[in-house]
Chains A and B, each alone.
Chain A
Amino acid sequence: MPQLEVNDIHTSYGLSQVLFGITLDVEEGEIVSLVGRNGVGKTTTMRSIMGLTKPSQGSVKFEGKEIAGLAAHQISKLGIGFVPEERRIFPDLTVWENLDIARRPAPAGREAWDEERVYTLFPDLKEIPDRPGGVLSGGQQQMLTIARSLMGNPRLLLLDEPSEGLAPKVVENVRDQVKLLKESGLTIILAEQNLGFILYLSDKVHILEKGEVKWSGTGAALKADKSIVEQYLTV
Chain B
Amino acid sequence: MTSPLSKTGMAACLIILILCALTPLLQSDYLIDVVTEILIVALFALSLNIIIGYSGNVSFGHAAYFAIGGYVNAILLTTYGWPLLPSAVAGVLAATLTAAIVAYFCTRLTDIYFAMLTLAFSMLVWAIVFKWRSLTNGDDGFTPVHVPAMIDDRTAFFYFTMIVIVVSIAVLWVITHSAFGRSLVAVRENVGRAGFVGIHTRRMRWQAFVIAGFFAGVAGVLFGMYHRGMYVESAFWTQSAQVLIMTLLGGIYSFFGPLIGAAVLFMLERLTNEYTEYWPTVLGVILLAILLFQPDGLVGLGKRIKNKFGGGGSP
Contacts and interface: CB of A to CB of B under 8 A. Distances in A.
A102 interface: yes
B197 A102 contact: yes
Interface stretch (A12-20, A69-77, A221-229): A69-77
B177 to A, nearest CB: 10
B190 A90 contact: yes
A195 interface: no
A146 B198 CA distance: 14
Given A100-B179, A101-B186, A88 B193 contact: yes
B186 A90 contact: yes
Contact of A104 (B1, B2, B194, B198): B198
B193 A90 contact: yes
B315 A131 contact: yes
A90 B198 contact: no
B118 interface: no
B315 A97 contact: no
A94 B196 CA distance: 19
A101 B197 contact: yes
Contact of B3 (A52, A82, A94, A102): A94
B193 A73 contact: no
Interface residues of A, number: 29
A97 B189 CA distance: 13
Given A73-B201, A90-B190, A91-B189, A97 B196 contact: no
Contacts of B196: 50-52, 72-73, 75-76, 82, 84
B148 interface: no
Given A131-B315, A135-B315, A93 B185 contact: yes
A90 B186 CA distance: 6
A97 B195 contact: no
A92 B1 contact: yes
A73 B186 contact: no
Interface in A42-78: 50-52, 71-73, 75-77
Nearest to A158: B196
Contacts of A84: 193, 196
Which applies to chain A's interface (DSSP): helix, strand, loop or mixed?
loop
B264 interface: no
Interface string A90-118: 11111001001111100000000000000
Contacts of A130: 3
A100 B199 CA distance: 12
Interface in A199-234: none
B207 interface: no
A91 B200 CA distance: 20
Given A52-B196, A73-B200, A73-B201, A101 B1 contact: no
A75 B253 CA distance: 31
A93 B186 contact: yes
Contacts of A92: 1, 185, 189, 253
Contacts of A135: 315
Contacts of A52: 192, 195-196
Interface in A128-186: 130-131, 135, 148-149, 152
Given A72-B195, A92-B189, A148-B197, 19 more contacts: A52-B195, A52-B196, A71-B195, A71-B200, A73-B198, A75-B196, A76-B195, A76-B198, A82-B196, A90-B193, A91-B189, A92-B1, A92-B185, A93-B2, A93-B189, A97-B185, A100-B182, A101-B186, A135-B315
7 contacts: A72-B192, A72-B196, A90-B190, A90-B194, A93-B189, A103-B179, A152-B197
Interface of A: 50-52, 71-73, 75-77, 82, 84, 88, 90-94, 97, 100-104, 130-131, 135, 148-149, 152
Please give me the 8 A-B residue pairs with the lowest Cβ-Cβ distance, nearest first: A76-B198, A72-B195, A82-B196, A72-B196, A102-B197, A101-B183, A73-B200, A90-B189
